[in-house]
Amino acid sequence: MHYLIYFDESNKLDQFNADYSYYGAYGGTDASMAKVVKQVRNIFKQCNSFSELHFREYTKDNLVKKYFQTLHTVINENVQINILTVNNKDALYAAQRIGLTTTELRNLFYIKIPERLFYGMTRDLSSQESGMVRVKIKVDQNDEYDKLFLETKIIEQMNAHSAYRNKNYRVVNVLSQNSVKSIPLQIVDTFMGIVIFLLEQNYLESSNTAKIKSDLIYRFLIEGNNLINFQRQIKLYKWTGHEELTSINISDYVSPFMAYKAAYDSQEIIRIQKIMVENPVMSLKELRLKVGYPNTMKNTLIGYKDQIEGRGRNYSIL
């Protein structure tokens, strides 16, 4: 059996522009990954959009169907996503205590953090497969990884863990890959972006971009068993300066978002429904202008309209 892991990061530790840095790993068997990639490619084809998935760049809802169907497909497959948060101030303080520069700290974290994330995904493989499991790791292309010899060091660390703990996996390679050519790397970027959005409560912002992102996340989570699967398959951890990572209950961040969005949507639906009742023959464009939505939120309005008219919030994107 082959097991594939894809790694990405957000908010670099030494950029001093964020309170937290984030590291994500997305793993599954080669068969499950191949199935997901095939399905997502079909979604891209059906939506006639082959641009790279990036949650940070999701600022218009014209691609809501593409993102929604991709998220819905992935979360309903047998995959696992681990995300680690690091408080940058705590990390820098720990480095200063032992005389490390910020660059030295980041170089050490580049080795230790991926290794801890990957081990969390591979340690239970022995219970799933009796024979040897060959692990292949793909990291988003980054010149800094090459300078640190990240590939060689991770192979050494992971295989040392496996041998010491009598596990049955072996890391056979660690490769850099351009995310443009890798749907799994785009997937981990998107899910990590969603988790960061929830952790940092960006949905409380009044910007159109925050509303557009919130609409995508909410519509994704209310569909079928997505909310349950999201909370079960995404494992969230934080580094606290101790040997063991601290597990975080992701529902502590999902629940406030769902409550906030349900209340916000209720107010919007009442407002939009009143305008629709008063203007029964109004076109979609006229309704959008009357409601005060920019064209970048047209599909958000369509979702509300479908819900008001009894078709369901996600009717137009299923």
Pair 178, 279 in one domain:
no
CATH of the domain at 136: 3.30.420.10
The pLDDT assigned to 107 comes to 74
What's the distance, CA 153 to chain centroid?
26
pLDDT per position as a tens digit, 250-277: 999 999 999 999 999 999 999 999 999 9
Task: Give the closest residue to 115 by CA, choosing from 162, 62, 180.
Answer: 162
Number of domains in the chain: 2
Alpha helices, DSSP H, located in the chain: 30-46, 64-75, 88-97, 102-122, 143-147, 150-164, 183-199, 208-221, 226-233, 251-278, 284-291, 298-308
Mean pLDDT of the chain: 91
pLDDT at site 109: 76
Stretch 176-201: mean pLDDT: 95
Of the residues 204, 229, 250, which one is the last residue of a structural domain? 250
Together in a domain, 304 and 179: no
Q: Is the pLDDT of residue 6 over 90?
A: yes
pLDDT band for 44, please (50, 70, 90 cuts): very high
Residue 218 has pLDDT above 80, yes or no: yes
- One domain, residues 213 and 270: no
Higher pLDDT, 201 or 148: 201
Q: pLDDT band at residue 16, thresholds of 50, 70 and 90?
A: low
Tally Cβ neighbours within 10 Å of residue 184. 23
Residue corresponding to tokens 């990590």? 192
Same domain for 54 and 186?
yes
Same domain assignment for residues 171 and 298? no
Listed residue (290, 304, 1, 276) closest to 134, CA to CA: 1
305 within 8 A of 287, measured Cβ to Cβ:
yes
CB 163 within 8 A of CB 170: no
Of 213, 232, 250, the domain-final residue: 250
Distance CA 154, CA 248 (A): 25
Q: Residue 175 is encoded by which pair of tokens?
A: 């490769």
Give pTM, 2 decimals. 0.93
pLDDT > 90 in the chain, percent: 66
Same domain, 189 and 263: no
Tokens coding 153: 């060091």
Q: Are residues 183 and 266 in the same domain?
A: no
Token pair in block for residue 108: 């050490």
Considering the domain architecture, whether residues 162 and 266 belong to the same structural domain is answered as no
Domain with 288 in it: 258-317
Q: Are residues 164 and 281 in the same domain?
A: no
Which tokens is 148 given? 């640190």
- Residues making up the chain, counted from first to last: 318
Specify which of 15-19, 98-102, 218-222 reaches the highest per-range mean pLDDT: 218-222
Whether 264 and 283 map to the same domain: the answer is yes
Boundary of a domain, candidates 250, 275, 305: 250
User: Which residues face 10 on adjacent strands?
Assistant: 22
- Using one digit for the tens of pLDDT, what is the confidence trace for 117-176? 888 888 777 777 678 899 999 988 877 666 666 778 888 888 888 888 888 899 999 988
The answer to whether residues 107 and 190 belong to one domain is yes
Residue 186 has pLDDT above 90, yes or no: yes
Same domain, residue pair 283 and 144: no
